[in-house]
């Protein structure tokens, strides 16, 4: 058994050594020998039976937990689920849905997807999958998704309840590749100013962004707001491709360096398609990893400015090491550095993942999100941009050129509680489901909707009433007024999303987004 374990480990190391020079210490008292003997002893001698695979997985996780916060182990199932949103597609029936009153409500079928092709429409309720009831049985969203998804070419029978139709409808849907888009919105936010919001850096992101750039240029875009708020990152190669679109051939985008990983530079491979117009990149405390690479490259190369708040500070390079069963170690091998030499990774204590996880909370309590003066930076953290030699600061994350504080008064405690209990989303879905046809007939043009639509007070009062049932009430009249004010904006955005798409959602929402509005002001007034 011991030999089998060692041979398996050596085989894994042999595979990984194709991309890395690995030193293996073998022989008496070696760490590998010790680990193998411990596993054999536990498996064969322990008083109770043990799951050998789980034992090994726990050992791997235990080792990685003593390192940096981002080195990790995932099972085959976890690895597949983690990579799927970035891989450009998955196999399924092609619907956007949400759970309302313990039933699956179709928000939108994917355009030209399998469900749309057979006649499934927005507002349909899927109550059974292959004769198995999914409505009224308290089935988890994950379990429902597992039943709806399946290999391309396989079929699934869906039982549908449709508003205005007495009898249940049955549709036979042939599963297909469903595209996963990473771009949330692209539109002209003001005359001459284009706006693109990217949610993550996936395999299709570069194509999505360049197509949006070309489309907006045809609509008269002279300057661009590139919104990376809440973008948690993704593929390094995609980040390099997108950064390239703003830069000159040969411009440094990012470089990596680590103890066993020599410096590797990523440079613009060609002149980008958006090298002339002004660029404003938007960031906040949830902007991370690949999004920080793009933000840092544009800032350091003096191609544009960054507006918002300091980014998350995830600048560790992970190399995936895959086992034969599909499980994977993502091992940190290097740091990311911006062109000026700033390390993107924020400081951390090895083995203290709780402290790392609480960093954003500590930043909030320290006042960093609301007061720029709370951020104290020493001269040792000073760096200089490559063309204009402007001062930029290291210390982890990307510091914005123009700080925009978090408006802590915008969302009241009452609003947050209503959202946390899913009262806002559930009531909005019920409203839209009941009025979808009338809304589509009345507002065939989105611009008319944006300019004239007002959320009915009855919908807001229904949300307040549902909150009261959950003992959610305002502390005073002022909190109630503020809650209703922003509920109206949120609900209008949700209606726009369900009638059109995410781009329209952000067109509504961005008119109240302080970071977006600061960027608009900067481009229109120059200050």
Told to judge if 314 belongs to the known catalytic residues of this protein, a careful annotator would answer: yes
N- to C-terminal Cα separation, the chain = 70
Q: Does residue 82 belong to any structural domain of this protein?
A: no
> Would you say the C-alpha torsion 299, 302, 304, 305 has a positive or negative sign?
positive
User: At residue 382, what are phi and psi to the nearest 5 degrees?
Assistant: -75, 135
Residue 17 has pLDDT above 50, yes or no: no
Annotation marks residue 340 as catalytic: no
State the catalytic residue, choosing from 223, 295, 314, 484: 314
| Residue 481 confidence (pLDDT) | 94
Q: If you average pLDDT over residues 370-377, what whole number do you get? A: 82
Whether 233 is covered by a domain: the verdict is yes
Say yes or no: 235 and 372 in one domain: yes
Please give the pLDDT value at position 517.
97
Angle between helices 413-420 and 477-499 (to 10 degrees): 40
Whether the CB-CB separation of 238 and 320 falls below 8 Å is answered with no
Q: Among 382, 406, 430, where does a domain finish?
A: 406
Q: Who's near 185: CB < 8 A, 6+ residues apart?
A: 195, 196, 197, 227, 502, 503, 505, 506, 507
Asked if residue 326 has pLDDT above 60, the reply is yes
Q: What does pLDDT average to over the chain?
A: 88
- What's the pLDDT band for 376 if we cut at 50, 70, 90? confident
- The closest of 205, 243, 185 to 88, measured between CA atoms, is 205
Residue tagged active-site, from 289, 327, 340, 428: 289
Are 193 and 162 found together in one domain?
Answer: no
Q: State the residue range of the domain holding 11.
A: 2-75
The mean per-residue pLDDT over the stretch 476-484 comes to 94
Does 119 lie in the same domain as 264?
no
List beta partners, residue 221: none
348 and 211 share one domain: yes
Boundary-marking domain end, from 16, 47, 75: 75
Calculate mean pLDDT across residues 264-273: 94
Q: Does residue 120 sit in the same domain as residue 230?
A: no
The answer on 361 and 464 residing in a single domain is no
Q: How many domains does the chain have?
A: 4
Task: Retrieve residue 446's tokens.
Answer: 């989105």
Instruction: Specify the pLDDT at position 25.
Output: 62
- Render 406-426 in DSSP notation, one character per residue: --TTTS-HHHHHHHHTTHHHH
Q: Is residue 208 domain-shared with residue 342, that is, in the same domain?
A: yes
Give the pairing type, strands 402-403 and 305-308: parallel
Are 33 and 158 members of one domain? no
pTM of the model: 0.84
Residue 84 located in a structural domain: no
- CATH number for the domain spanning 168: value is 2.30.42.10
The catalytic position among 300, 340, 433, 484 is 300
224 and 202, same structural domain?
yes
Whole-angstrom Cα distance, residue 61 to residue 71? 9
- The per-residue b/e assignment along 40-69, b for 16 or more CB within 10 angstroms, e otherwise, is eeebeeeeeeeeeeeebeeeeeeebbeebb
What pLDDT digit, counting tens, does each position of 186-208 carry?
999 999 999 999 999 999 999 99
Q: Which pLDDT belongs to residue 23?
A: 60
- The Cα–Cα gap between 212 and 185 comes to 9
Q: Which CATH number characterizes residue 219's domain?
A: 3.90.226.10
Render pLDDT for 80-89 as a digit per residue (tens, 0 to 9): 877 766 666 6
């Amino acid at each position: 058994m011991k030999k089998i374990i060692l041979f398996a480990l050596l085989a894994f190391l042999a595979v990984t050594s194709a991309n890395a020079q690995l030193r293996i210490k073998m022989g008496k008292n070696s760490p590998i020998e010790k680990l193998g003997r411990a596993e054999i002893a536990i498996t064969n001698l322990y008083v109770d039976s043990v799951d050998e695979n789980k034992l090994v997985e726990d050992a791997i996780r235990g080792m990685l937990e003593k390192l940096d916060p981002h080195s990790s182990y995932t099972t085959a199932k976890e690895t597949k689920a983690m990579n799927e949103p970035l891989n450009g597609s998955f196999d399924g029936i092609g619907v956007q849905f949400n759970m309302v009153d313990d039933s699956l409500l179709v928000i939108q079928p994917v355009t030209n997807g399998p469900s749309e092709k057979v006649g499934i429409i927005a507002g349909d309720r899927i109550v059974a999958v292959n004769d198995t009831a999914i409505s009224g049985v308290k089935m988890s969203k994950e379990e429902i998704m597992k039943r709806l998804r399946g290999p391309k070419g396989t079929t699934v029978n869906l039982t549908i309840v449709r508003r205005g139709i007495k009898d249940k409808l049955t549709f036979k849907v042939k599963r297909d590749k469903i595209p996963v888009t990473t771009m949330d919105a692209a539109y002209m936010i003001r005359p001459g100013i284009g706006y693109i919001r990217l949610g993550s850096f996936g395999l299709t992101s570069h194509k999505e962004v360049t197509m949006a750039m070309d489309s907006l240029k045809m609509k008269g875009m002279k300057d661009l707001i590139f919104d990376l708020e809440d973008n948690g990152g993704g593929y390094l190669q995609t980040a390099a491709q997108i950064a390239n679109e703003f830069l000159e051939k040969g411009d440094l985008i990012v470089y990596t360096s680590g103890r066993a990983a020599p410096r590797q530079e990523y440079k613009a491979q060609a002149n980008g398609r958006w090298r002339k117009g002004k660029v404003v990149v938007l960031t906040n405390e949830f902007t991370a990893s690949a999004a920080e690479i793009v933000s840092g490259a544009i800032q350091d190369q003096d191609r544009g400015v960054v507006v918002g708040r300091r980014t998350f500070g995830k600048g560790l390079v992970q190399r995936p090491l895959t086992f034969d069963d599909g499980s994977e170690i993502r091992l940190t091998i290097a740091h990311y550095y911006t062109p000026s030499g700033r390390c993107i990774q924020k400081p951390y204590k090895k083995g203290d993942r709780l402290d790392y996880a609480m960093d954003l909370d500590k930043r909030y309590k320290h006042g960093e999100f609301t007061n720029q003066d709370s951020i104290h930076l020493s001269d040792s953290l000073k760096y200089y941009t490559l063309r204009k030699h402007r001062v930029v600061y290291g210390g982890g994350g990307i510091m914005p050129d123009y700080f925009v504080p978090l408006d802590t008064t915008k969302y009241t405690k009452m609003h947050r509680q209503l959202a946390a209990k899913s009262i806002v989303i559930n009531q909005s879905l019920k409203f839209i489901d009941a009025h979808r046809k009338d809304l589509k007939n009345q507002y065939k043009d989105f611009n008319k909707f944006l300019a004239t639509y007002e959320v009915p007070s009855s919908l807001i009062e229904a949300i307040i009433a549902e909150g009261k049932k959950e003992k959610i009430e305002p502390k005073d009249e002022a909190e109630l007024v503020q809650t209703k004010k922003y509920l109206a904006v949120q609900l209008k955005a949700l209606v726009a999303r369900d009638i059109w798409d995410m781009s329209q959602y952000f067109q509504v929402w961005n008119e109240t987004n302080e970071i977006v509005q600061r960027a608009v002001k900067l481009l229109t007034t120059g200050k």
